[in-house]
Structure 1
Amino acid sequence: MSEHMTTDYVKPKDLAKMMVDAGESKVLLSTRDTLIRAYMAGAILALAAAFAITVGIQTGSPLMGAVLFPVGFILLYLLGFDLLTGVFMLVPLALLDKRPGVTVKQVLRNWGLVFIGNFVGAVTVAFMISFVLTFGYTTGGGVIAEKVGHIGMARTLGYESHGIMGWFTIFIRGILCNWMVATGVAAAMLSTSAIGKIWAMWMPIMLFFYMGFEHSVVNMFLFPFALIMGGDFTFVDYLLWNELPTALGNLVGGLFFVGLMMFVTHYKTAPYRELQL
């Protein structure tokens, strides 16, 4: 019986090849489909962020918000949509493997299109949520708008007040974030079943959100939303003191600490040592 038993577990060596294949497919995807998938990913993640913040405020438990936040990642992953944090990890692997048609220019093209799609999707939801909370901007946004406004100020001007060390703090938080998020994406590939993928993603995504690490796409919703609701900082503050260092940190965290590690040790495994007897 054991000979015929099947498992949905994918071995790390096979996983590493799947990651390179996924990077290649994302580079070769049409502009239209890349933008659509990125737009939907940004919008779904923005809704999940709004949901998690609302839950945290209404229950008084940030942990409860963090426990439920991964639903957004899970949905967009299962539906085949793309986040900037994911392509930061996967796409360069196809370049390293010298896949046909994959060049530095094509990698940068993919990142640029996904950034645009994610941003437009996240801002779309920011406008929708702000409209709903204010009855078409005819009244205040209440506790949720006030909370997000405080988050926006603390995570822009708050970092700026510490100068260059504040910039590097958010950069490192970006690294830690995508170390976890990319781990979740890779771990989801370890299973061929939907339930296996869901559980594999849940823990690292919950960890990053509860720990307050910085995710470039989540922030594409939070900060425009805070600005729409009257947050006391500027769009330039957001770009220079949040989005830029966060995105760079996300790139390092996802590519170096997850993608390259898997690529080097499982895809390009070094020869085994010969024991001297």
Structure 2
Amino acid sequence: MSINSPQQIAEISIEAGVKKSHLPTVSILVLGFLAGAFIALGFLLDIHVSTMIPGPWASLGNLMGAAVFPVGLILTILAGGELLTGNMMTLPTAMFAGRISAGAVARNWLLVTFANLVGALFIAYFFGHVLGLTEGAFLAKTLAIAKAKASADFGQALISGIGCNWLVCLAVWLSFASKDVTGKILGMWFPIMAFVAIGFQHVVANMFIIPAAIFADALTWFDFVENFFPVFLGNAVGGAIFVGLAYYVSYSKAAQAQVTVEHAASVEQPVGQKI
């Protein structure tokens, strides 16, 4: 079959978390830079596509922009990359299974956060500011998105972050479900399109859009930091709890419990007893 069962996906997720925790620092930094840049490029494409749609059709423009945004995660999963939001699901799942330590999770998240930020800033500054791809004709759209995200209070940003990474990690989970490229792309596409169309907050995407507004002298680095922490926490909860823990408890742990029960029953059966 070309699809993995939920139980198999849970095991794949655990193994992915274990492998990520053992990556050398240099590999994490390079792959993290690429993932941050990929997500930023997807956001840049979103801005350009949505800006091309006439004002009276702005809602359609937002939907079309959301429909092209998934290219960032597709590149990350298929070409290779270390993305913080996806790792907020895979590494905790491996930790819940007792395969890695909390320290390994923290190390990976810290390195990947830094690398994602550098990659996103690279696109925001050189492509967005120097080339003007987030300014000029695209400035109004850039600022509208950035200011909407930065204006959310702590609670709003936290809850929005949970919703975002619930969907993003479901996209990663669905990519594990398929054994072929087409299935992986389709599995990732719609959850990512959904979170963008809804307007949920993604910590790595915000590493691109808010600095793009900063480089245009419309926001400050204080605005960025104030937004970063609640969105980071919300994304962590959405990925680790709403996807990682939920499916670990439902599938991986349940499967282990079933094996334990069956083993106990076989041990308790008297020797020589016939069924």
Note the 1:225-236 alignment, pairs <5 A. Answer: 225-231=212-218, 233-236=219-222
For 2:110, the equivalent position in structure 1 comes to 112
- Name which of 6, 21, 35 aligns with 1:12: 6
Contact 1:184/1:201 (CA < 8 Å) preserved in 2? Answer: yes
For 1:125, the equivalent position in structure 2 comes to 123
Alignment gaps of 5+ in structure 1: 1-6, 135-139, 160-165
What is the alpha-carbon distance in structure 2 between the residues aligned to residue 169 and residue 183 of structure 1? 21
Note the 1:39-58 alignment, pairs <5 A. Answer: 39-58=33-52
What is the alpha-carbon distance in structure 2 between the residues aligned to residue 223 and residue 19 of structure 1? 31
What is the alpha-carbon distance in structure 2 between the residues aligned to residue 20 and residue 104 of structure 1? 14
SS for the counterpart of 2:225 is helix
For 1:212, the equivalent position in structure 2 comes to 199
Query: Counterpart of 1:106 in structure 2: which amino acid?
Result: A
For 2:101, the equivalent position in structure 1 comes to 103
What is the alpha-carbon distance in structure 2 between the residues aligned to residue 147 and residue 17 of structure 1? 42
What is the alpha-carbon distance in structure 2 between the residues aligned to residue 151 and residue 196 of structure 1? 31
- Alignment of 1:268 onto 2:258: no
* Structure with the bigger percentage of helix: 2
- Alignment of 1:238 onto 2:224: yes
- Give 1:152 deviation, angstroms: 2.3
- Give 1:247 deviation, angstroms: 0.8
Contact 2:135/2:142 (CA < 8 Å) preserved in 1? Answer: no
Alignment gaps of 5+ in structure 2: 55-60, 262-275
For 2:32, the equivalent position in structure 1 comes to 38
For 2:88, the equivalent position in structure 1 comes to 88
- Give 1:230 deviation, angstroms: 1.3
Q: Deviations over 1:33-79 (max 9, x none)?
A: 01111100000110110111110011241111111111121111101
Q: How many pairs does the alignment contain?
A: 252
SS for the counterpart of 1:268 is helix
Note the 1:126-205 alignment, pairs <5 A. Answer: 126-129=124-127, 130-133=129-132, 141-156=135-150, 158-159=151-152, 166-205=153-192
What is the alpha-carbon distance in structure 1 between the residues aligned to residue 49 and residue 221 of structure 2? 27
Contact 1:179/1:254 (CA < 8 Å) preserved in 2? Answer: yes
Which runs of 4 or more aligned residues in structure 1 lie more than 2 Å from their structure 2 counterparts after TM superposition?
A: 149-155, 270-273
Larger Rg: 2
- Give 1:147 deviation, angstroms: 2.3
Contact 1:149/1:226 (CA < 8 Å) preserved in 2? Answer: yes
What is the alpha-carbon distance in structure 2 between the residues aligned to residue 146 and residue 93 of structure 1? 40
Contact 1:149/1:227 (CA < 8 Å) preserved in 2? Answer: no
Q: Give percent identity, aligned residues only.
A: 37
SS for the counterpart of 1:238 is helix
What is the alpha-carbon distance in structure 1 between the residues aligned to residue 73 and residue 94 of structure 2? 23
What is the alpha-carbon distance in structure 2 between the residues aligned to residue 251 and residue 155 of structure 1? 18
- Give 1:155 deviation, angstroms: 2.2
- Give 1:96 deviation, angstroms: 1.9
- Alignment of 1:253 onto 2:238: yes
Contact 2:9/2:176 (CA < 8 Å) preserved in 1? Answer: yes
- Alignment of 1:75 onto 2:61: no
